Amino acid sequence: MTDTLDNWETICSVDTLVDGTGVCALHNGEQVAIFKVRGELYALSNYDPFGKANVLSRGLIGSEQDTIYIASPLYKQRFSLSTGACLDDPETTIQQYQVRAHQDKVQLKV
């Protein structure tokens, strides 16, 4: 279900996401982890470069001072949801995706 009009791909309805958790979307052949935290949406690559597996959508969300992060379920490295930067290794940043809630749908920018 691709909405080419605005170059946003609709993934699922916003209600499908439980607040404080993530899901994984197949988007342009890539795995994208989408998270909902207190109503806000975030999207990052689903690939954990440390554990080398597609698991980040299944991690635990937390905050360190003002940074909201996802912690990998494998070895617990934390990645900022708003920048993709790894909090535990300054060398590593994972890809971010643009995501929005549009008419109760979760959409990723194509």
Partner 1 sequence: MTPEKIIVVGNGMVGHKYIETLINHPQYQNYQIITFSEEPRLAYDRVQLSGYFDGKTVDDLMLTSSDYYDANGVQYIVSDKVVAIDKAEQTVTTESGRVESYDKLVLATGSFPFVPPIEGGDGEHCLVYRTIEDLEAITASAEQSKTGVVIGGGLLGLECAKALHSLNLDSHVVEFAPRLMAVQLDDTGGQLLRKKIEDLGVHVHTEKATQSISAGEHCRYRMNFADGSHLETDMIVYSAGIRPQDQLARDFELAIGERGGIVIDDHCLTSDDNIYAIGECALWQGRIFGLVAPGYNMAKVAVDHLTGGDSSFTGADMSTKLKLMGVDVASIGDAHAQTEGALTYSYIDDAQGIYKKLVVSAEQDKLLGAVLVGDTDNYGTLLPMMLEGMDLPEQPQSLILPAIDGQEGGALGINALPDSAQVCSCHDVTKGDLIAAIHDGATELGELKSCTKAGTGCGGCSAMVEQVLKAELENMGMEVNNNLCQHFEYSRQELFDIIRAKKIKTFDELLAKYGSGHGCIICKPAVGSILATYWNEYVLSDDHIALQDTNDIFLGNMQKDGTYSVVPRIAGGEITPEGLITLGQVGKKYDLYTKITGGQRIDFFGAQLHELPMIWQELTDAGFETGHAYGKSLRTVKSCVGSTWCRYGMLDSVSMAINLEMRYKGLRAPHKVKMGVSGCTRECAEAQSKDFGIIATDKGWNLYVCGNGGMKPRHADLFAIDLDDQTLIKYIDRIIMFYCRTAERLTRTATWMNNLEGGLDYLKSVIIDDKLNICDELEADMEKVIDTYECEWKATLNNPERLKRFSHFINSDATDDNLAYVSERGQNRARIATDTERQKAAKGEEIATLAVTN
Told to check if 82 binds partner 1 by CB under 8 A, we report: no
Closest CA to 97 of 83, 80, 77: 83
Compute the distance between CA of residue 67 and CA of residue 94 in angstroms, rounded to an integer. 16
Q: How many Cβ atoms from other residues are within 10 Å of residue 40's Cβ?
A: 13
Is the Cβ of residue 96 or residue 105 nearer to partner 1 in the bound state? 105
Compute the distance between CA of residue 84 and CA of residue 12 in angstroms, rounded to an integer. 22
Told to check if 11 binds partner 1 by CB under 8 A, we report: yes
- Out of 3, 6, 40, 64, the only residue in the binding site for partner 1 (CB under 8 A) is 64
Compute the distance between CA of residue 109 and CA of residue 50 in angstroms, rounded to an integer. 26
Told to check if 103 binds partner 1 by CB under 8 A, we report: no
Decide: helix, strand or coil at residue 28.
coil
- Out of 42, 44, 45, 58, the only residue in the binding site for partner 1 (CB under 8 A) is 58
Q: How far is the CB of 97 from partner 1 (least distance, A)?
A: 14
Residues in contact with partner 1 by CB under 8 A are 1, 11-12, 16, 18-21, 23-27, 29-31, 34, 37-38, 51-55, 58-65, 68, 71, 73-74, 76, 78
